Amino acid sequence: MGIKTALPAAELGLYSLVLSGALAYAGRGLLEASQDGAHRKAFRESVRPGWEYIGRKMDVADFEWVMWFTSFRNVIIFALSGHVLFAKLCTMVAPQLRSWMYAVYGALAVAGTMGPWYLLLLLGHCVGLYVVSLLGQPWLCLGVGLASLASFKLEPLISWQSGFVTGTFDLQEVLFHGGCGFTVLRCTSFALESCAHPDHRYSLADLLKYNFYLPFFFFGPIMTFDRFHAQVSQVEPVRPEGELWRIRAQAGLSVVAILAVDVFFHFFYILTIPSDLKFVNRLPDSALAGLAYSNLVYDWVKAAVLFGVVNTVARLDHLDPPQPPKCITALYVFAETHFDRGINDWLCKYVYDYIGGEHSAVIPELGATIATFAITTLWLGPCDVVYLWSCLNCFGLNFELWVQKLAELEPLAQIETSLSEQMSRRVRAVFGAMNFWAIIMYNLVSLNSPEFSELVAQRLLLSGFPQTTLAILFVTYCGVQLVKERERTLALEEEQKQDKEKLE
């Protein structure tokens, strides 16, 4: 009930006003905290000179972001520009060979960046999983794939294999783990699809073309083999109407997002402040809530920018890659929470949906989530923080189903039936607001630190109860209602579009 129900315009206007005011108030507190802490001794390592002409320093706590857009910026632009250029030439001259061009260019780029021995190491893993795929046993393919992934996550194998990398540079460890991890997932997808479609007889060349596609190689997103192979095998691909305009728009949005983050980090030190818990503990409750929320928003923006740039190149190659993750602001259910849509699709197809089925039964869902988060733990690298993050999110996903099942029982189901659709939507939004903060708290554990997450929980839920707790929940409730309204509008537009297509 209440899913497609509209609320009065005045009520939605009030929610917008409350949310805007709360965000502005929290932002002001964060700005003042950033200004006060700019010269603290604890901030010296990660708050460096920025816009000197107006006296602004910059938060450089995120090593990867800084490297992408400073020392490695020209390398990234050069490599992707070369890929686009050669892909265009090959598409014009010999379109039937474009998949080979992708593989050769990608392999040469990997060898040039990480060294030929690293390339041979990955080829060894590819050949190994290809041989296993010939046996046609899905359980064996998945098992060997996970064992291969574990070899890049656990000692002493990880130290031995990292020795295959030639040279030393800032992003070496990031590129090593990214290239190896995604290679294993792609090879496992190839093996499982080979078992699912034995009549297709995929070759080792198909696997190499799939794995060494450069835009996806180091950082993803990952496309399952069946989708990639079907799209890259088109001899004369045709762009949908308006596709080039959408590609330009996506590229423009990525540039705007990069500039916006650069400006933001000159005024808000959201990544550095959590490292000084004594300073954090002096923040007002509103600023602390804004700090926790902004840390997750930044992680989403980072993923959106990365996938936006890569997806722009992929769409120029006539591919339909996984979309960026759903904005954290629009998330109020664990079932839709993920920061990498490609890995989420991979896990859902080969593990979560396979075990959980329709995700309506408690026991199969529990088994599916445990298996999914066990593999996710291996993917992220087993450690105490990852264990805690996996347990919390596994519980959150199951707890949603338990609450849903409980709500379907009497007398709760009868109580909701007696409510109007608008009131039912309001009640559900209250639970959505609580779920929203559970998502934030559970993911802060890995994105920041357990100590910071504990401090936020203590301040907002315990020492701040009831005033701060209820105020934050009400602001979040307003945001959830606005998100629901947006979803309702999009659903209605989609229905109208489908009705129009049926009439035509």
Are 425 and 486 members of one domain?
yes
- Of residues 213 and 325, the one with the higher pLDDT is 213
pLDDT, tens digit (0-9, with 9 covering 90-100), for 70-118: 777 788 888 888 888 888 888 888 888 888 899 999 999 998 888 889 8
Look at residues 231, 258, 279 and tell me which one is the last residue of a structural domain.
231
Look at residues 178, 197, 231 and tell me which one is the last residue of a structural domain.
231
Q: Is the residue at 59 inside a domain?
A: no
Determine the structural domain holding residue 195 and report its residue range: 70-231
Cα–Cα separations (whole angstroms), residue 380 to 100, 143, 178, 383, 397: 31, 17, 11, 9, 19
Find tokens 């809530």 and name the residue: 289
Q: Is the residue at 91 inside a domain?
A: yes
Q: Is the residue at 29 inside a domain?
A: yes
474 SS3 class: helix
Are 33 and 153 members of one domain?
no
Q: How many Å is the Cα radius of gyration of the chain? A: 24
Are 402 and 258 members of one domain?
yes
Are 189 and 287 members of one domain?
no
**Confidence grade of residue 351 (pLDDT, cut at 50, 70, 90):** very high
Predicted local distance difference test score (pLDDT) of residue 170:
67
Q: How far is CA 450 from the centre of its chain?
A: 20
Are 197 and 255 members of one domain?
no
Predicted local distance difference test score (pLDDT) of residue 419:
86
Size (the chain), residues? 504
Look at residues 203, 231, 259 and tell me which one is the last residue of a structural domain.
231
What is the residue-wise DSSP string for 327-385? PGGG--SGGG--S-HHHHHHHIIIIIHHHHTTS-SHHHHHHHHHHHHHHHHHHH--SHH
Are 203 and 168 members of one domain?
yes
- % of the chain at pLDDT higher than 70: 98
Mean pLDDT of 156-178: 79
Whether residue 2 is predicted with pLDDT greater than 50 in this model: the reply is no
Are 263 and 220 members of one domain?
no
Whether residue 210 is predicted with pLDDT greater than 80 in this model: the reply is yes
Q: Is the residue at 58 inside a domain?
A: no
Cα–Cα separations (whole angstroms), residue 207 to 53, 213, 248: 52, 10, 31
**Confidence grade of residue 330 (pLDDT, cut at 50, 70, 90):** confident
Sign of CA dihedral 318, 321, 326, 327: negative
User: Closest Cα to residue 325, out of 482, 237, 448, 443?
Assistant: 443
Residue 49 gets which letter from DSSP? E
Q: Is the residue at 478 inside a domain?
A: yes
Q: Is the residue at 305 inside a domain?
A: no
The Cα 2–Cα 4 span in angstroms is: 6
Q: How far is CA 396 from the centre of its chain?
A: 18
Among 107-121, 178-192, 334-348, 363-377, name the one with the lowest average pLDDT.
334-348
The Cα 373–Cα 207 span in angstroms is: 27
Query: Using CB atoms within 10 A of its CB, is residue 13 exposed (0-12), middle (13-18) or buried (19+)?
Result: exposed
pLDDT, tens digit (0-9, with 9 covering 90-100), for 187-202: 999 999 999 888 888 8
Query: In 165-320, which ranges are E strands?
Result: none
**Confidence grade of residue 3 (pLDDT, cut at 50, 70, 90):** low
Residue 251 gets which letter from DSSP? H
Mean pLDDT of 467-493: 91
Are 109 and 198 members of one domain?
yes
Are 35 and 111 members of one domain?
no
Domain count of the fold of the chain: 2
**Confidence grade of residue 289 (pLDDT, cut at 50, 70, 90):** very high
**Cα three-residue angle 322-324-329, rounded to 5 degrees:** 145
Are 79 and 45 members of one domain?
no
pLDDT, tens digit (0-9, with 9 covering 90-100), for 8-62: 999 999 999 999 999 999 999 999 998 888 778 878 888 888 777 777 888 888 8
The Cα 313–Cα 183 span in angstroms is: 19
Are 406 and 276 members of one domain?
yes
Are 153 and 214 members of one domain?
yes
pLDDT, tens digit (0-9, with 9 covering 90-100), for 122-135: 999 999 999 999 99
> For the chain, what is the mean pLDDT?
88
Whether residue 1 is predicted with pLDDT greater than 60 in this model: the reply is no
Q: Is the residue at 62 inside a domain?
A: no
H/E run at residue 58:
strand 56-59
Q: Is the residue at 238 inside a domain?
A: no
pLDDT, tens digit (0-9, with 9 covering 90-100), for 275-284: 889 999 999 9
**Confidence grade of residue 436 (pLDDT, cut at 50, 70, 90):** very high
Structure tokens at 480: 């959830």
